[in-house]
A and B are shown apart, each in its own frame.
Chain A
């Protein structure tokens, strides 16, 4: 087992596969259930593929004919397996206990205001589905927002760092200065105004602009430009501004010699940027990008002003539904805390892994 940890993963995978087949058959119709959110057929297919791959990999290792492609695939699948294992453990070990606890109490009516913990338990059980949905929306918003923001930031930062050179013609020099200034302006505007205000302006202004400039009826636009879509756009644009500055710092921190060496070998400025400077800058900026993601998890709560059903919005919903003021938000706060702490932990693991790859020094040479 120690020499071939893959066998362990293989066995875990098989066990989880068994669980998921059971889930598929029983249709997972429980009171509190995560499995209803994951398509059982999807999980079964994923697990079968994973098991075959890990099995093959273990076989190739035993035969001492390692295959690098399988190795990479197995490393990813390992995490998929562990994720499913986590879900199934929750489903079949934790939730039954919770259910049993709930059933011992009479939770058909909301407990009185003086009973804090029962109230919280009641709201959680009654609102589990909405809370879970809100959590997923929050994660989606911050994940997609950070990724799209990063892509936008890469474009913006390429503009930002343009500097007119001596040998440039006048028009090129002007365009470069213009691009750099424009990108700077964007960063200043989006960093200098609150995301809440940006959200409101974008949500109400964009449909008006589109309908007036292309003459598309308002209700048709609203069908596409939903609360959630507006939310994605706002988070992406806002994140882009912050990450532009992060990337600029990372690029400027790279030793000038790297660019000089690339240019002295005949690489163009663009090639040197793409192949040498950007990869290093992004790697150095990874901790800050991760931070931005964690900040986004919290900051997407302001999107409730445009009616995006994220976690805070769900909390407000619960407040109206149960006529309780602070209990729902304590639950929401705890979920935020769990989300941010988990993400911080995962990011720290990722960073450690990346650093290890660089510092790994096999003494076999």
Chain B
């Protein structure tokens, strides 16, 4: 496995994954995953369905408990028992494929809830931060709307604002555009691209090859629970080394 990180974005590692493994029943979905995410990096994980990319992402904030291996976030191991998980999770944002906005709260309260309950911000402060972040994603005109009345793209942008409001060090995107109508994919990708430009560290599981090509600083190709190939987008997309990568890219790009 190539563990060399391209030198031009070589910075402090923010997330280190060592020998991670995970199985559901008899099926082992992650096998010996080693991964380093540096600050300011946009890491795209590609691969066919069932290759373990979503599971890997969900292990990174312990939504799935890994069976073995170690995850270090800012030098703190997440897998030891006495870690303050809820505190750490506020620093690891997550955006889901199915948005998962809280259905019982309106847009503003969706973005405010975790700020007031977990970070103990005052209501005014939380509201200010919420509105600022909603403005960033272009949803500040919809403060009082309930999630059910929004389109998919709007929901996903609110979900991104909700993650941003916690001032995370890193945001995990789990196929953020897969549940969207084609015409709404653009608005969400635009927001993500803006975030990348601002230097937010992002790990993105995606099927949007164009996004991976243009925005990612590094691309990982996963297959059958292994990281098969890893490198800069131009390397992966124009000159893949592994046979399985070639086959996958041929299928999705044609």
Contacts and interface: CB of A to CB of B under 8 A. Distances in A.
Interface of A: 166-167, 255, 257-258, 260-268, 271, 275-276, 279-280, 283, 358-359, 361, 365
Contacts of B98: 255, 257
Contacts, number: 76
A271 B96 contact: no
A102 to B, nearest CB: 54
B104 A264 contact: no
B86 interface: yes
Question: Chain B CB within 10 Å — which of A263, A266, A268, A283 has the most?
Answer: A266
B227 interface: no
Given A266-B118, A267-B86, A365-B142, A279 B104 contact: yes
Contacts of B102: 258, 261-262, 275-276
26 contacts: A166-B65, A167-B65, A167-B81, A255-B98, A257-B96, A257-B99, A261-B96, A261-B100, A261-B102, A263-B89, A264-B93, A264-B96, A265-B90, A265-B94, A265-B166, A266-B87, A266-B119, A267-B86, A267-B113, A267-B117, A267-B118, A271-B118, A275-B117, A279-B104, A358-B146, A361-B149
Nearest to B84: A266
B146 A266 contact: no
Contacts of B162: 265
Interface in B100-119: 100-104, 113-114, 117-119
Given A275-B113, A359-B148, A264 B103 contact: no
Contact of B145 (A257, A258, A275, A365): A365
B184 to A, nearest CB: 17
B247 interface: no
A63 to B, nearest CB: 24
Interface of B: 61, 63, 65, 81, 86-90, 92-94, 96, 98-104, 113-114, 117-119, 141-142, 145-146, 148-149, 159, 162-163, 166
A276 B87 contact: no
A267 B105 CA distance: 15
A264 B61 contact: yes
Contact of B104 (A255, A260, A283, A365): A283
B117 A257 contact: no
A358 B148 contact: yes
Nearest to B113: A275
Q: Which of the listed residues B61, B86, B119, B163 has the most CB atoms from chain A within 10 Å of its own CB?
A: B86
Given A166-B65, A358-B148, A265 B114 contact: yes
A261 B162 CA distance: 10
The 10 A-B residue pairs whose C-beta atoms are closest, nearest first, are A261-B100, A265-B114, A266-B90, A257-B100, A264-B94, A266-B118, A266-B89, A279-B104, A266-B86, A280-B104
B148 A267 contact: no
Nearest to A169: B81
Given A257-B96, A361-B149, A365-B142, A268 B104 contact: no
B117 A258 contact: no
A255 B100 contact: yes
A92 B61 CA distance: 69
B149 A266 contact: no
B141 A271 contact: no
Contacts of B113: 265, 267, 275
A266 B166 contact: yes
Contacts of A268: 86
Contacts of A365: 141-142, 145
Contacts of A167: 65, 81
Contacts of B163: 265
Contacts of A275: 102, 113, 117
B105 to A, nearest CB: 8
Contacts of B118: 265-267, 271
B141 to A, nearest CB: 6
The residue in B99, B102, B113 that gathers the most chain A C-beta atoms within 10 A of its C-beta is: B102
A357 to B, nearest CB: 9
B114 A267 contact: yes
Contacts of B92: 264
Given A265-B90, A361-B149, A260 B117 contact: no
B125 to A, nearest CB: 17
A302 B232 CA distance: 76
Contacts of A358: 146, 148
Q: Residue among A263, A264, A267 with the most chain B CB within 10 A? A: A264
Given A265-B113, A267-B114, A361-B149, 20 more contacts: A257-B96, A257-B98, A257-B99, A258-B100, A260-B100, A261-B94, A262-B102, A265-B90, A265-B94, A266-B89, A266-B118, A271-B117, A271-B118, A275-B102, A275-B113, A275-B117, A276-B102, A276-B104, A279-B104, A280-B103
A258 B96 CA distance: 10
A364 to B, nearest CB: 10
